Structure 1
Amino acid sequence: MISFRLLGKWTSLVLISAALAALLRLGGLPAAELLGPMIAGMFFALRGVVLHVPRSVFSGAQAVVGCMVALTLTPSILTSLGRDWPIMVVVVCMTIAAGGVVGFLLMRLGSLPGNTAAWGMSPGGAAAMTAMAESFGADVRMVAFMQYLRMFVVVLTASGVSRILLGHAADLPGAYSWSPDFDAPLVPLLQTLALVAGGVLLSGRLRIPAAAMLLPMLAGAALNSMGIVTLVLPHWLLWTAYASLGWYVGMRFDRETVLHVLRTIPQMLLATFLLIGLCCVSAWLLTVWPGLDPLSAYLATSPGGLDSVAIIAMGSGCDVGFILALQTLRLFAVVAAGPFVARLVCRISGVSARGSGIAP
């Protein structure tokens, strides 16, 4: 009887999550496949429905996100990185520093707990930051909310800026595919799943925070770029990983956390706009140094939403290769430097690097 009741709860959660994700996707919101399950998980948790995502499933979702990051490193992007790497390195360092400054100000002047502000304002890789934050002691619920609020604001501002500079809305290429991609090539799929499984198994043996994501990301980037393996991420695998992350985060919310989130939204919005403003300095540098056009420079330095920025760039006639190369380099850099920056900001602020401040 208990098993049927539990099955009924999970079935309801899956159906509601799918419906919310579809509505968010139709509304054009980014990361709908993660936000829908997260909202559904929050609703179930606040209603007192007790469900748990196993830690191994969460680690598997981290590993899939790591493969997704690795998949962004394509030969064309490597070519662009090799040609323009000096200015890209400078801009990426400026962007990471901007995120650290904004996180520091939030920690000192705002009301966010512990090192959550440092992780929540990391400029890029929202899914990766959410997947890694808990391993480093941050409140994963607050980090997820901050990251996706920032992504939403960044996408809206990027769309608005492209409309202002172009004089019309960017032409978005192609419609979103609802196919689960069950016909993905078998050998590349098995290689990808082996990389995911290896990340999960090794993460249980190595004392490296977020190893389940970092190991597949580094190994996958190297092997895929050298042509040794071919990574493939069919929609059903990404949807499963995103849903697992969303449920893991959403079902940890309680009334106290929701009230705290609502109180801190003005701080988060102010911090997001400050981060965007600081990134505009990097955009101005790109227009001066390599002579990039203003829209390409702005999109290349937008702090988050690699996939959404890519869609806007491809529909606006910008320098897509440069934009994707810089966004990809920043994504790798943010994921690699995130723990160091968070610790540094916490040390300067006099806050524990592993204290979240809100009980899970």
Structure 2
Amino acid sequence: MRDTAAGLLIGAAGGLAFWLLGIPAPWLAGSMMAAIAAVFAQVRIGMPDWLRAVAFIFLGIQTGTAVSWDTLDRAIHWPVSIAFLCLTVVAVTWAGMAYYIRRHDWDVPTALFASLPGALSLTLLLASSTTADMRRVTIAQCIRLFFLVAALPTVITWLRPPGDHLTMSLAQIGGVWDILLLVVVSAAAGYALEWLKAPAGLMLGPMLASAGLELSGLVAGAAPMSVLIPANVVLGVMIGARFSHFTLAEFRAALVEGFSGFVIALAIAMAGAAVAAWFSNLPFALTLLAFSPGGLDAMTIMAFSLNLDPAYVGAHQMARYIGLALFMPAATAYVLKRMGACGSQAAKVEEG
């Protein structure tokens, strides 16, 4: 409890400081930076599973209640941009692998799992069953997420012209019974999908349930935005706590490699987002956030913070997450087998 309280207080203080400074997405970026500083200052911080679950459920509720019939009308353009997103994911992975193998002489398994964009838990689980260097994979994934959360809001703010946004203006839910219905039904849906082992069930269930309640008219309006601030802080502390497994020296050494990987991934994501924005007639800032190779939770929270359509961003990040969860095991096994075979043949040629 002390570790949890310390993490929440430190994260809230960091978020408040960033908010006072006017930094974009302050509660997420500020809490993450404060948590990382605390970790390397030898302060013990923690986040229990139940609190993480609550944060994911409320984030799913926030995203679902942002869905309206107007959202569904615009969704006709989404399949096109999701198709470009799939191509972008492949390109980001391939480019990251090539960079780590050629520039830093990493082995194929380590480079592959360090380059996969998103689905961190599944990526680490699959990497652990191979010969990949788990320290390098974990650090590379965490460093990329660190730079995304720290830098992406500012990048999007710079790139977005005034008025270039796409969001819904929903009144807040006023009735206590409406809020209670929304929370109970959404939480039940989240735990049901989690029990069924659905990818990102704790977010997907509340997202679908709250969207259904909103579209059916049983609930009108969104949950108070103040609910999103604690979710920001919890997520920021969760990201920061991942660095507790590394020393400060390891963190410093990984910054260059991690930043280079982040720049490569962001450049490809920007190219894919620009093409999708042109084909779908959507704002570039919106497609960039949806295409950014971060986590489902972090990117969706960022959509709210940057006043971008959370339904669009959430749908694309969810598509990326589910796609990786479904196809990553077979795809990574195939790539490792093919590249392993190529490596063996190259070794035989050199020996000959």
Structure 1 length-normalised TM: 0.67
For residues 70-111 of structure 1, the C-alpha deviation after alignment (integer angstroms, 9 at most, x for no partner) is 223212111223xxx2x4312221123212321232134326
Matched residue, 2:34:
40
The answer as to whether partners of 2:114 and 2:140 remain within 8 angstroms in 1 is yes
Distance 1:309 1:207, change over 3 A: closer
Matched residue, 1:272:
266
TM superposition shift of 1:312: 7.8
1:301 to 279, 284, 287: 287
Distance in 1 separating the partners of 2:286 and 2:194: 37
For residues 213-268 of structure 1, the C-alpha deviation after alignment (integer angstroms, 9 at most, x for no partner) is 22222222223222234574324432222222222221231334623541321221
Which sits farther off after the overlay, 38-47 or 264-273?
38-47
- Structure 1 position 137 matched with structure 2 position 124: yes
Residue-pair matches, total: 300
For residues 103-122 of structure 1, the C-alpha deviation after alignment (integer angstroms, 9 at most, x for no partner) is 232134326766353234xx
The answer as to whether partners of 1:80 and 1:325 remain within 8 angstroms in 2 is no
- Structure 1 position 90 matched with structure 2 position 80: yes
Q: How does 1:232-271 map to 2 (within 5 A)?
A: 232-254=222-244, 255-256=246-247, 258-259=251-252, 261-263=254-256, 264-271=258-265
Distance in 2 separating the partners of 1:150 and 1:89: 25
- Structure 1 position 99 matched with structure 2 position 86: no
For residues 152-209 of structure 1, the C-alpha deviation after alignment (integer angstroms, 9 at most, x for no partner) is 655445444445xxxxxx2699xxxxxxx9x953123212321454256446643344
Q: Secondary structure at the match of 1:51?
A: coil
Runs of at least 5 residues in structure 1 that lack an aligned partner in the other structure: 1-5, 121-131, 164-169, 174-180, 287-291, 315-322, 352-360
Q: Secondary structure at the match of 2:242?
A: coil
Which sits farther off after the overlay, 56-65 or 334-343?
334-343
The answer as to whether partners of 1:224 and 1:230 remain within 8 angstroms in 2 is yes
Distance in 2 separating the partners of 1:326 and 1:39: 27
- Aligned-residue Cα RMSD (Å) equals 3.8
- Structure 1 position 225 matched with structure 2 position 225: no
Distance 1:298 1:262, change over 3 A: same
The answer as to whether partners of 2:186 and 2:210 remain within 8 angstroms in 1 is no
- Structure 1 position 333 matched with structure 2 position 323: no
- Structure 1 position 49 matched with structure 2 position 36: no
The answer as to whether partners of 2:116 and 2:123 remain within 8 angstroms in 1 is no
Runs of at least 5 residues in structure 2 that lack an aligned partner in the other structure: 101-105, 126-136, 166-171, 291-298, 338-352
Distance in 1 separating the partners of 2:310 and 2:234: 27
Q: How does 1:110-125 map to 2 (within 5 A)?
A: 110=100, 115-120=113-118
The answer as to whether partners of 1:189 and 1:231 remain within 8 angstroms in 2 is no
Which sits farther off after the overlay, 184-193 or 333-342?
333-342
Distance in 2 separating the partners of 1:102 and 1:53: 31
Distance 1:225 1:144, change over 3 A: farther
Work out the percentage of aligned pairs sharing the same amino acid: 17
